[in-house]
Amino acid sequence: MSASLPQIPWNADHAAALVARCVALEGPLLPALHVIQATFGCVPDEAVPIIAQVLNLSRADVHGVLTFYHDFRRVPAGRRILKFCAAEACQARGSADAIAQVERALGLKVGETRSDGAVTLEAVYCLGLCASGPAALLDGDPFARLKGARLDHLLTQVLP
């Protein structure tokens, strides 16, 4: 789930056409969810019956998979997405303080999107950058050693 993109507005017919292209795949549900999210920025609840209908699944089937994966969103994210690592190694290198600082600076809590839609802050659990934590992804790009000036610099990139 990389960079936030200028996504197109929700359109049911377009969504059905996108899902229909996945029908022939083996295990088409995940690719269908990905393409919907990539196109519309999220998988809104109204997409679920469409995906279910086209793939001949129940709405519950789709809902279960959709909600299992944290990276699928049911509402649009902010224009930028900051994913801060909250796993053990980063914790050992001070990520809790860093996250608290980010929350204060951005005026939101982990898991939230700012009301102006500028940014979404999420926790992730290990980016494989354990040796240089605290680490984070901003719109899919990695940032490391996020303390002090480096963290301040990141925040200026999030909210110029």
Give the interface with other proteins as residue ranges (CB under 8 A): 45, 48, 52, 56-61, 63-64, 67-68, 70
In the chain, % helix, strand, coil (3-state, to 5) comes to 45, 10, 45
Least Å distance between CB 160 and other proteins?
A: 35
CB-based burial, 73-100: b 16+ in 10 Å, e otherwise:
beebbbbbbbbbbbbebbbebebeebbe
Three-state DSSP at 127 gives: coil
CB closer to other proteins, 48 vs 82: 48
CB closer to other proteins, 18 vs 51: 51
Lookup: tokens for 83: 């994913």
Least Å distance between CB 129 and other proteins?
A: 23
Least Å distance between CB 78 and other proteins?
A: 22
Burial class, 50, CB count within 10 angstroms (exposed 0-12 / middle 13-18 / buried 19+): buried
CB closer to other proteins, 64 vs 140: 64
CB closer to other proteins, 68 vs 156: 68
Least Å distance between CB 72 and other proteins?
A: 12
